[in-house]
Every structure is written in structure tokens, then in C-alpha cells.
Homo-oligomer: A and B are copies of this chain.
Amino acid sequence: MSPGTRSDADWMHAAIALALRGRALSSPNPSVGCILVRQGRVVGRGWTAMGGRPHAEAMALTAAGEAARGATAFVTLEPCAHDSQRGPACADLLVAAGVARVVIGTLDPDPRTNGEGAARLASAGIAVETGIAEPAARASLAGFITRQTLGRPFVTLKLATSLDGRIALADGSSQWITGAQARAHTHVERAHHDAILVGGGTYRADAPRLDVRLAGLEIRSPRRVLLSRMGDAPAGWTALASPGDIGSLDGVDWLMVEGGTEVAAAFLAADSVDRLLLYRAPVLIGSGKAALGDIGLDRLADAHGRWRLTDTRLLGNDRMESYQRIR
């Protein structure tokens, strides 16, 4: 494909890929991606830095320098319109840099910006388009959007099972059902989450292992949260009494629930799972520990229409599947 033939959606997907670099590092801000393109060539790239500043647009504009003049900016989230003690509004930076056109993945649900950033760009004579590759842009911002709209993190429930849905033998042994590649994938997923939540049984069995064990990514181990009716947290952990309390986890937009059976069922019963991350090994276990306890399902018909497959791949002998809650 020659450079000039890429569509706006192609560039937006490239910006979304950049945004992933800052995921679960950019708190308290969402991780945004920005690409500046002039005459079909990339002149600047940016993503939200660790800690939330600089913003993606500022980083891309700094990289482009004078080349930003007349360029098109592809940005996954509407540029902010509010000045902050931590830096100027991105809409103003784009105007000052002389950008000719801004293509936006999705508008900012933050009431301080919602539509205001796009309006400020337009009033400065910049061509503005919104809603480009919007489902993918929103998926990349799901933690932030869920926090803004539901007041809680986006919740991924991870399960690793046999073909017959078991997570362990009857004696509790579960090392290993899935292979090395699937387990490495789980560690990348952990690095993309702000916090990881488990119940008491998993805490007692696996606490030392609930980190990112990929060379170079150890510092991206998420915060650790224990679901415990007692509410008492071990050192280095946060305790919550129920799934309904996850909104109180400051700075946590992406939460991964990793076990065990009753915790997973409690989140599902509360309809607080937004994504299922399943790893399935080509083994049969038979009698053993089931993946889920009671999720409050009374009629089979109610189980349908809730989950849509959004990604699947083979990892060694195992299959990964990602399902999104249909809301």
C-alpha cells in the first residue's frame, strides 16, 4: 500500500496501537494515542506518558516541531479543552501548532471537555471529524469510559480451564493446565491492568505469583486487591468487602479478576464483568474444581445474548478467547 492510500480509519488504528503503550501506566489519565500525518507521512507520534502527562498530542507535536504545520492529527480521544496546573489544553496546542485537520476516535465523556475540545478546534478554522474507528477507539479507552459512565473500573475476568471447564483437579492441583505461551499472555494482560483482584483462597495459594513475570516488565505488576468479607488487607494489598466496592479503587480503571471460583461467580452475579478472558487447554479433567460457582442464573434463556467473541488465537496448544459483555 503506498503511503497516500491509507484511510483515516487505518491511521486511527495506528494511533490506537500507540495508546496501548501507556495503558495502565497513565493513571490518573486515560492512555491516548496521537499520530501527526503530513502528505501521507508520519511526522510525529505520541501516547500518554507515565503518570498522565504529557498528553499524547503534546508528545506528538514536540516530535513533529515545524512539520506539524498543515498536518492532520489522528487522536483516539477528543483533545482536552481544560487548562490544568499540569499543562495547557491540547486543543490550544493543536491550534498553536497550525494543524490543518483533526480526526478524533471518540468524544471525551469527561464533562469538562465533552464536545468542547472539538468545538475549540473548529472555531479556530481546523477541519474536525469525529467517530472514526470509534468502536476500536472506545475499546482502547474502556477503562476510562467505564469509570466515567459507571463509576467503576472496566473488569476483565480471567479463567484458565480444561476443555470440560475445570480449573483444577479435585485435590486443588492446577499447575499447569495451560502451557507456557498462554501463561506469558496472562502476564502481558496483567501489565495492561491497574489492579488484580483475587479471593482469599487464591491469595493463600498464589499470592507470591500474582505479579508480572516477564523480563523488563516486572515494574508493571498491578496493584493487588483482596476480596474479603472481613475487609482486612495484608501488607501491600487493598481489601474490598464486595464487588460493589470496586468504584472506590482510586486510579484503577482496568481491573483484572483472577480467582477463584466464588469470586468469579460473585462478579458475574453482580453483572460487574465487562470482558471474559478465557484460556482453554486441550485436556480433560473430569471431576474437579468448576470454573464458576452460582452466578444466579435461573433460566437458560437469560444466559444468551450477553457475550460476544471479540478476539481469539492459538497460544501453543491452548486457545485464548476474549468475550465482551453486550450491554
Contacts and interface: CB of A to CB of B under 8 A. Distances in A.
Contacts of A166: 165
A300 B173 contact: yes
A163 B169 CA distance: 18
> Taking the full assembly, how many copies of this chain does it contain?
2
Interface residues of A, number: 43
B290 A294 contact: no
A284 B290 contact: no
A265 B166 CA distance: 14
Contacts of A159: 164
Contact of A165 (B165, B295, B297): B165
Interface stretch (A128-136, A215-223, A252-260, A275-283): A275-283
B283 A307 contact: yes
A309 interface: yes
A165 B176 CA distance: 18
A163 B278 contact: yes
Interface in A237-293: 265, 268-269, 276, 278, 281-288, 290-293
A144 B303 CA distance: 41
Contacts of A161: 164-165
A282 B309 CA distance: 8
B292 A287 contact: yes
A287 B303 CA distance: 13
20 contacts: A159-B164, A163-B323, A165-B290, A165-B291, A173-B299, A173-B300, A174-B300, A175-B300, A268-B284, A269-B286, A283-B300, A283-B307, A284-B295, A285-B292, A286-B292, A286-B295, A286-B297, A287-B290, A287-B292, A287-B294
